[in-house]
């Protein structure tokens, strides 16, 4: 008989041994578990089906300290108007170290009329030559433009190829000074960093690629709802395939934060002790003793976010707190946090992050954009505070949200220029006291446009529609009819959108359609809007959480998971290997729970209302002494009963043996963990 270990509770625990028109512009969170974690296997990755030629990103920089930084406007003049110049300084430290610059644009907004046609040259100073006052220098020409700008006209200077090489070649801190001069006998005035209208302030827009990171081709609307691993276990019991499995849950401690975040194989959340002290904790995927704890002074917000580079944000309670996690050594607690005070900041909906770490949120009736350095980029005012969460498009060029009064709102992520597109049920939404606005889902079409899918419900009148965004021109998608009905939060599958010549015809959007207190998982063709019921309907009750906070989650095998807290209360899985209810005798998941995937593929149910507890969902089998068994779980595995014959248990994470589990004399039990494949 093989050997085994028990925990303090006597449980055996084995670990690894051997629409309708074009848009208009807006004005306006266990016991001790012995485990070895293989971080290379646990690190989150975009599924290979979405991989392309490398990550493409856009980052927007705002001026830092310069002689004119406090001024609201300044002139560029020459000839009879005297010689007047504008000096702008930028820091590009948030640009990924492995990034390759592909383009750069300087953007200024005219504050008044230009007296005559004028050529404005932009020269990049050598950082070591930059002084506290503007001066004429001989540097690298950034770009040149001949113009006669009207008042409040936005003007762009495109960078030359040799300038990109200059900035690309900088080592350490990346600082840049740009001097704007003119040889023309003309005068123009421009808004500077002191402008009261933030969107009028100068900005430097850098486009880049990162070769060793997969390209983003879609935005799921919600974070952590897609897994790069399959979740469902596979089993052979008594020489036959075995699908008679259930699940158990492993609850974490009650959290202060609304939802966890996942990075480098760990789970991050904030907690509060009996004295009210708050702390940020890093935990293993099944919880237990924290890997590290960092006390958070004062009263932090309750929204957590984390970027691909490991920058963790705590947002709310009048501030944004940031930590830099060590992706190479996640067991190391981060250095002291940085705090940005922002009076009145307490968003209701969770903020969102762009691929570059830019932060977007709705606070009361205003939408804000911040770059990775938390420089404010813009502010857009809405007519009503009721909105969805913000979705950042996969290109990083636009952000989207559904708003009660406006419908779909699209905002240029670099400049704040915004457009509104009414939904087919806009009148009902605008007049409703109770409505649900789901976060838009966005897919990057191979032709470069973004397809935006929006679901919005007003009492008994809902709709799911698609818009096309072609470089800022946004209109209802052609040959994609509005889909009436009450819809859950949509989610796209993990298939590639295809190529320009052959867009993927089989790619789907999924959502639960609710009618007569029953829900039906529905597949929707991303290009045509044609629908198909993917599974039999299930009872959801008269007030389903699926319509107002619940969600779907999808694993790498294409199985869709739904937590249904009313009617037929249970966890449902809809896929090719298994389709139906995953029953649990003591699951303990509250009615209002959202599904999330950790970076290692662990499925979680998270509750915001009530106990605010994160629960890991673990597939469970009960063995019979009369049968041999070979069971594999891509994530974790819980086993009860008796191993009476030859039993092989394998898991990508932990194998947990329940209370009372026994091994019959003469039987063989083999367990392997950290196994990514059967």
Counting other chains too, the contacts that 587-593 makes at CB distance below 8 Å and 24 or more residues apart are: 587/247, 587/248, 587/249, 587/617, 588/249, 588/251, 588/615, 589/249, 589/563, 589/565, 589/615, 590/565, 591/545, 591/565, 591/566, 592/545, 592/549, 592/550, 592/565, 593/545, 593/550, 593/563, 593/565
pLDDT of residue 67: 61
Do residues 254 and 303 make contact, with C-beta atoms less than 8 angstroms apart? no
For the chain, the helix, strand and coil percentages under 3-state DSSP, each to the nearest 5: 5, 45, 50
pLDDT tens, 595-604? 999 999 999 9
**Chain length of the chain:** 678
How far apart, in whole angstroms, are the C-alpha atoms of residue 19 and residue 422? 6
E strand intervals along 15-93: 24-25, 55-61, 73-77, 86-91
Residue 274 burial by Cβ neighbours in a 10 Å radius (0-12, 13-18, 19+): exposed
Do residues 300 and 318 make contact, with C-beta atoms less than 8 angstroms apart? no
Q: How confident is the model at residue 21 (pLDDT cuts 50, 70, 90)?
A: very low
Reference 386, options 432, 338, 331; nearest CA is 432
Q: How confident is the model at residue 300 (pLDDT cuts 50, 70, 90)?
A: very high
Q: What is the mean pLDDT of residues 312-316?
A: 98
Reference 528, options 595, 466, 588, 484; nearest CA is 466
pLDDT tens, 343-368? 999 999 999 999 889 999 999 999 99
Instruction: Note the CATH number of domain 55-210.
Output: 2.60.120.970
How far apart, in whole angstroms, are the C-alpha atoms of residue 51 and residue 143? 34
Domain boundaries, the chain: 55-210, 218-621
pLDDT of residue 459: 82
Going from the C-alpha of 526 to that of each of 448, 449, 536, the distances in angstroms are 15, 13, 22
Counting other chains too, the contacts that 577-585 makes at CB distance below 8 Å and 24 or more residues apart are: 577/232, 577/234, 578/232, 578/243, 579/535, 582/245, 582/246, 582/247, 583/246, 584/246, 584/247, 584/248, 584/249, 584/620, 585/246
pLDDT tens, 377-386? 999 999 999 9
pLDDT of residue 585: 73
How far apart, in whole angstroms, are the C-alpha atoms of residue 176 and residue 331? 35
Do residues 511 and 552 make contact, with C-beta atoms less than 8 angstroms apart? yes
List, in order, residues 6 or more apart from 220 with CB less than 8 Å away.
226, 441, 491, 492
pLDDT above 80 for 107: yes
Do residues 220 and 554 make contact, with C-beta atoms less than 8 angstroms apart? no
Under DSSP, is residue 155 helix (H, G, I), strand (E, B) or coil?
strand
239: left (phi over 0), alpha (psi -120 to 50) or beta: left
Instruction: Note the CATH number of domain 218-621.
Output: 2.130.10.10
Do residues 543 and 482 make contact, with C-beta atoms less than 8 angstroms apart? no
Eight-state DSSP code of residue 41: H
pLDDT tens, 331-347? 999 999 999 999 999 99
The token pair at 60 is: 């927007």
List, in order, residues 6 or more apart from 158 with CB less than 8 Å away.
103, 104, 105, 143
168: left (phi over 0), alpha (psi -120 to 50) or beta: alpha
Q: How confident is the model at residue 54 (pLDDT cuts 50, 70, 90)?
A: confident
pLDDT of residue 409: 98
pLDDT tens, 507-530? 999 999 999 999 999 999 999 999
Reference 493, options 455, 465, 521, 515; nearest CA is 521
Do residues 84 and 73 make contact, with C-beta atoms less than 8 angstroms apart? no
pLDDT above 90 for 627: no
Q: How confident is the model at residue 175 (pLDDT cuts 50, 70, 90)?
A: confident
pLDDT above 90 for 573: yes
Provide, rounded to the nearest whole percent, the portion of the chain with pLDDT above 70: 88
Q: How confident is the model at residue 172 (pLDDT cuts 50, 70, 90)?
A: low
pLDDT tens, 219-246? 999 999 999 999 999 999 876 766 578 9
Do residues 447 and 469 make contact, with C-beta atoms less than 8 angstroms apart? no
pTM: predicted TM-score of the whole model, two decimal places: 0.90
524 beta partners: 509, 531
How far apart, in whole angstroms, are the C-alpha atoms of residue 145 and residue 613? 57
403 beta partners: 387, 407
How far apart, in whole angstroms, are the C-alpha atoms of residue 260 and residue 456? 26
Q: What is the mean pLDDT of residues 42-64?
A: 63
Least confidently predicted of 94-103, 170-179, 567-576: 170-179
Q: Do 55-210 and 218-621 fold alike per CATH? A: no
Do residues 216 and 78 make contact, with C-beta atoms less than 8 angstroms apart? no
Buried b (16+ CB within 10 A) or exposed e, 419-429: bbbbbbbbebb
């Amino acid at each position: 008989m093989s050997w085994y270990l028990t925990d303090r509770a006597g449980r055996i625990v084995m670990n690894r041994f051997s629409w309708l028109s074009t848009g208009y512009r807006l004005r306006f969170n266990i016991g001790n578990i012995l485990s070895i974690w293989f971080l290379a296997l646990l690190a989150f990755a975009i599924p290979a089906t979405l991989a392309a030629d490398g990550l493409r990103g856009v980052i927007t920089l705002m001026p830092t300290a310069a002689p004119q930084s406090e001024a609201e406007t300044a002139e560029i003049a020459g000839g009879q108007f005297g010689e007047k110049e504008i000096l702008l300084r930028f820091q590009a430290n948030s640009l990924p170290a492995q990034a390759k610059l592909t383009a750069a644009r300087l953007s200024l907004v005219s504050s008044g009329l230009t007296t005559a046609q004028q050529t404005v040259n932009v020269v990049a100073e050598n950082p070591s030559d930059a002084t506290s006052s503007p001066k004429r220098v001989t540097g690298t020409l950034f770009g040149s433009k001949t113009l006669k700008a009207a008042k409040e006209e936005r003007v762009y200077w495109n960078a030359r190829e040799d300038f990109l090489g200059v900035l690309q070649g900088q080592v350490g801190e990346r600082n840049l000074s740009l001097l704007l001069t003119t040889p023309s006998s003309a005068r123009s005035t421009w808004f500077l960093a002191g402008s009261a209208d933030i969107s009028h302030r100068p900005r430097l827009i850098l486009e880049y690629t990162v070769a060793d990171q997969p390209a983003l081709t879609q935005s799921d609307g919600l974070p952590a709802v897609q897994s790069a691993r399959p979740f469902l276990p596979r089993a052979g019991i008594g020489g036959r395939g075995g699908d008679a499995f259930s699940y158990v849950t492993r609850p974490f401690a009650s959290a202060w934060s609304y939802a966890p975040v996942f990075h480098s194989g760990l789970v991050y959340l904030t907690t509060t002790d009996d004295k009210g002290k708050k702390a940020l904790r890093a935990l293993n995927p099944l919880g237990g003793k924290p890997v590290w704890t960092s006390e958070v002074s004062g009263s932090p917000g309750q929204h957590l976010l984390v970027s691909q580079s490991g920058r963790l944000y705590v947002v709310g309670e009048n501030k944004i707190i940031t930590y830099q996690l060590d992706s190479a050594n996640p067991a190391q607690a981060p250095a002291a946090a940085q705090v940005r005070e922002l009076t009145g900041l307490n968003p209701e909906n969770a903020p969102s992050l762009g691929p570059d770490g830019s932060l977007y949120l709705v606070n009361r009736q205003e939408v804000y954009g911040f770059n990775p350095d938390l420089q404010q980029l813009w502010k857009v005012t809405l007519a009503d505070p009721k909105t969805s969460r913000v979705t950042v498009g996969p290109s990083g060029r636009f952000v989207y949200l559904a708003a009660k009064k406006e419908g779909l709102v699209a905002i240029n992520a670099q400049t704040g220029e915004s457009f509104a597109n009414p939904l087919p049920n806009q009148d009902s939404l605008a007049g409703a006291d109770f409505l649900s606005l789901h976060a838009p889902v966005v897919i990057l079409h191979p032709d470069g446009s973004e397809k935006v899918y929006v679901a919005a419900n007003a009492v008994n009148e809902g709709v799911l529609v698609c818009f096309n965004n072609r470089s800022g021109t946004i209109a209802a998608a052609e040959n994609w009819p509005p889909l009436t009905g009450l819809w859950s939060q949509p989610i796209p599958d993990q298939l590639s959108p295809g190529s320009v010549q052959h867009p993927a015809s089989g790619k789907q959007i999924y959502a639960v359609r609710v009618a007569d207190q029953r829900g039906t998982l529905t597949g929707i063709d991303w290009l045509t809007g044609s629908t198909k019921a993917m599974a039999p309907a299930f009872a959801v009750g008269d007030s389903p959480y699926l319509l107002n906070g619940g969600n779907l989650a999808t694993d790498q095998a294409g199985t869709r998971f739904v937590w249904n807290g009313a009617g037929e209360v249970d966890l449902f899985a809809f896929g090719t290997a298994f389709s139906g209810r995953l029953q649990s005798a003591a699951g303990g998941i509250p009615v209002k729970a959202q599904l999330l995937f950790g970076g290692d593929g662990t499925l979680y149910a998270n509750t915001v209302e009530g106990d605010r507890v994160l629960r890991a969902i673990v597939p469970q089998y009960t063995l019979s002494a009369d049968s041999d068994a070979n069971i594999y779980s891509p994530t974790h595995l819980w086993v009860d009963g008796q191993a009476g014959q030859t039993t092989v248990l394998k898991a990508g994470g932990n194998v947990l043996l329940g209370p009372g589990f026994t091994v019959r004399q003469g039987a063989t039990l083999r367990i392997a963990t950290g196994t990514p494949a059967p």
